Amino acid sequence: MRVITTIQEMRKEISKQKSHSKSIGFVPTMGFLHEGHLTLLKKARIENDIVVLSIFVNPLQFGPKEDFSTYPRDFARDQSLAECEGVDLIFYPSVEEMYPHKTSARVIIQDRTDVLCGKSRPGHFDGVATVLTKLFNIVLPTRAYFGTKDAQQVAVVEGLISDLNFPIELIPVEIVREEDGLAKSSRNVNLLPEERAKASVLYKSLTAAKEAIDKGVRDPEAIKTLVSTMIRSESNGKIDYVEIYSYPQLKSVEYLADIFIIALAVQFSRVRLIDNIILDLGQEIGGENECFDT
Ligand code: PAF
């Protein structure tokens, strides 16, 4: 496994691999790897000749009051985890390497960002899309792997790849959870112990929503109330949003049908956590009510 810190060296290595017709699986991350990332790496390892992991905490996607400086970082640990997963190349650039001067071009996302995290974090997805455009142009991946915990990110990246014609296959990978249901996230370490003990209510509330839907509830407002009430009664987290939208279009729904996402974001004292489930009622007309979550 090689660690590469410059764009020039990365380009040299990628063009060598491409000249041997190697397929490249790319897992972009901000580091502090957890099992969710390892699942992406495992899948990339199975499906590609070369696996590239990028580790870059991208300042462009953090708002001025957000956690860029406290975002957890541990490169030595990430490196040994990556080695265990059979990663071939780690791209680990500095901020100066990625943004050496005030940039004159950036990517603006015009659709699907006026809701959920896009609404609470203005400019966030422009920052994500800009860094991904740079990373895609440097790594030239065959396939790129993203976790569906950031379901809005997956929807935005799908639009980015298709609208800007990147010849890349997007592979969404389902959420990996702790034993108590809390979605794995690099940010979980910033929960206080008493907050961590109660944070399982996020997934419990989504599971309760799914149960209510399985029993026939179709009013999105009733489901949102159920989820919010459970979170408020079982944790001290402050709800940023609990929303239901069609997926992946992220449009409002007045009645639950077809594929939709129930998504939530909750602010704890030092960290804001997100979670979601995506359900499919599309089979309902035939009598079978198939639900799945991600
Ligand atoms: O999901 C993340 O970790 C980041 O948003 C990404 C995709 C690596 C871009 O910085």
Domains of the chain, by residue range, sit at: 2-173, 186-280
Edge-to-edge, what's the strand order for the sheet holding 259-267? 238-246, 259-267, 272-280
Task: Indicate the angle between helix axes 151-163 and 124-139, nearest 10 degrees.
Answer: 60
At the second CATH level, the architecture of 2-173 is: 3-Layer(aba) Sandwich (3.40)
157-190 confidence digits (pLDDT tens): 999 999 999 999 999 999 999 999 999 999 999 9
- pLDDT at residue 4 in the model: 98
- pLDDT at residue 101 in the model: 87
- pLDDT at residue 286 in the model: 39
At the second CATH level, the architecture of 186-280 is: 2-Layer Sandwich (3.30)
Using alpha carbons, list the distances in angstroms from residue 178 to 50, 75, 181, 241, 275: 29, 23, 5, 22, 13
Which of 98, 126, 153, 176 for mutating ligand 1's site (highest number of atoms within 8 Å of CB)?
153
Mean pLDDT of 99-108: 91
CA-wise closest residue to 43 among 90, 89, 92, 87: 87
Average pLDDT, the chain: 94
Which of 26, 27, 29, 41 for mutating ligand 1's site (highest number of atoms within 8 Å of CB)?
29
DSSP label at residue 248: T
Residue keyed to tokens 């402050």 = 238
End-to-end CA distance of the chain: 31
Using alpha carbons, list the distances in angstroms from residue 263 to 69, 101, 139, 260: 26, 37, 31, 10
> Looking at ligand 1, which residue's alpha carbon is closest to its atom 3?
29
- Asked whether residue 279 carries a pLDDT value surpassing 90, the answer given is yes
- Asked whether residue 132 carries a pLDDT value surpassing 80, the answer given is yes
> Looking at ligand 1, which residue's alpha carbon is closest to its atom 1?
29
Mean pLDDT of 41-66: 97
- pTM of the complete model: 0.91
- Asked whether residue 202 carries a pLDDT value surpassing 80, the answer given is yes
- On whether the CB atoms of residues 192 and 270 are closer than 8 A, the answer is yes
Residues assigned a catalytic role: 37
Name which residue leads in pLDDT, 4 or 294: 4
- pLDDT at residue 291 in the model: 39
- pLDDT at residue 293 in the model: 42
Percent of the chain scored above 90 by pLDDT?
93
> Rounded to whole angstroms, how far apart are CA atoms 147 and 38?
11
- Is 33's C-beta closer than 6 angstroms to any atom of ligand 1? no
- On whether the CB atoms of residues 280 and 290 are closer than 8 A, the answer is yes
